[in-house]
Amino acid sequence: MQVYGGVLTTSADVCGSGLNSAQTSDCQCVIRSDGLCVRWSGHQAYLWEYSRPGDLVVYDFQMGRAREGPANFLEGFEGRLQSDGYAAYGKIGGPGLLYFGCWAHVRRKFFEASQQDPRNARSVSVVVAIGKLYEVERQAREGQLTFREREELRLRECPALLAVVKALVLESAAVALPKSGLGKACTYALKQWERLESSAGGGHGMVEIDNNWAENAMRPIALGRKNWMQIGSEKAGPKIAAILSVLETCKRLGVNGREYLLEVLPQLSYRATRPEVQGLIPLEELTPAAWQQARAKAEEIPA
């Protein structure tokens, strides 16, 4: 594991640089981010996930949850960043960075509030109203709309729906106890409102309504949380993150991870031990995306 992790770190680094370079040269790029706590041998650390929907996934290992981790990774980022309301994402990236909120986090908070106090119908009314925003997303998905068409659909349907949601949240905030589940949900939603409005109806058709892509990429790690007790040392963290980055990227791209590793690992290892051949085997050609493209081109060539 340690050897493979060290070798794959180079491939993961290239994926990370690709994620960052695309965002500054292409303003249409969207990055979603999420974080997860892992523990081992009495220590605590975090894996941050950065990704584009259906594309690159990069996990970044950090010993803390402070702003420094996302700030370093997203330095100079001027694309679109979608995340939850965690404060560490504030004031990072380049001056052109655009923030977008996650409606799944908001809906979850109101749903949990309804579970805590089933007799209070206000939480349920907000969940139902948010559900109508997701109905618009369902229409776009089932209609296989382009980004531009989804943008037009949202601009047509969502302003009125957003107005209803905000009115319900404001009404609930006026009567809910600040420390109650409903009160906390209202505070969260109102603090995030500008970013939430941008996600659902702000004229950005390529931005999803939530960052569930990122959350789904973190789920296997959460399910296997006990396995991370065996990481052993802080130095192993980045190697684990590299392995996860490559495998999750393969999963997103529909690449057979086993086939990819069987072909690429020997090349990465050879490249790492023979500096004189590094220029002959560019790392950019050994990423899952590049490998997939090369495979596709090879299959097009008649025998």
Tens digits of residue pLDDT in 274-287: 776 666 667 788 88
3-class DSSP assignment, residue 18: helix
- Decide which of 28 and 124 is more confident: 124
For residue 23, name the pLDDT band (cuts at 50, 70, 90).
very low
Which residue type does 140 have?
Answer: A
**pLDDT value at 201 more than 60:** yes
What single DSSP character describes residue 63? S
Between 7 and 297, the higher pLDDT residue: 297
Share above pLDDT 70 across residues of the chain, in percent, rounded to a whole number: 80
Q: Rounded to two decimals, what is the model's pTM?
A: 0.81
Please give the C-alpha separations between residue 195 and each of 59, 106, 130, in angstroms, as whole numbers: 24, 12, 15
Gap between the Cα atoms of 166 and 126, Å rounded: 9
CB-CB neighbours of 204 under 10 Å? 20
24 has a pLDDT exceeding 50: no
Which residue do the tokens 């590299």 mark?
242
User: CA dihedral in degrees (131, 137, 143, 144; nearest 10)?
Assistant: -150
Cα 52 to Cα 32: distance, rounded to the nearest angstrom: 6
Q: Would the pLDDT of 237 be above 60?
A: yes
Mean pLDDT computed over 8-32: 52
Residue ranges of domains in the chain, CATH in brackets = 2-99+212-300 (3.30.420), 103-201 (no CATH)
Task: Express each pLDDT in 251-298 by its tens digit.
Answer: 999 999 999 999 888 887 777 677 766 666 677 888 898 899 988 888
* pLDDT for 242 beyond 70: yes
Is pLDDT of 193 > 70? Answer: yes
What pLDDT, on a 0 to 100 scale, did the predictor assign at position 92?
84
Helix, strand, coil distribution of the chain in percent, nearest 5: 65, 10, 25
- At residue 179, does pLDDT exceed 70? yes
Residues 205 and 14 sit within 8 Å (Cβ to Cβ): no
DSSP codes of every residue in 70-115: HHHHTTT--SEEE--S-GGGTT-S-TT-EEE--HHHHHHHHHHHHH
Task: Say which residue, 248 or 18, is predicted with more confidence.
Answer: 248
Please give the mean pLDDT across all residues of the chain.
Answer: 82
Q: In what order do the strands lie in the sheet with 80-82?
A: 57-62, 43-51, 30-40, 80-82, 98-100
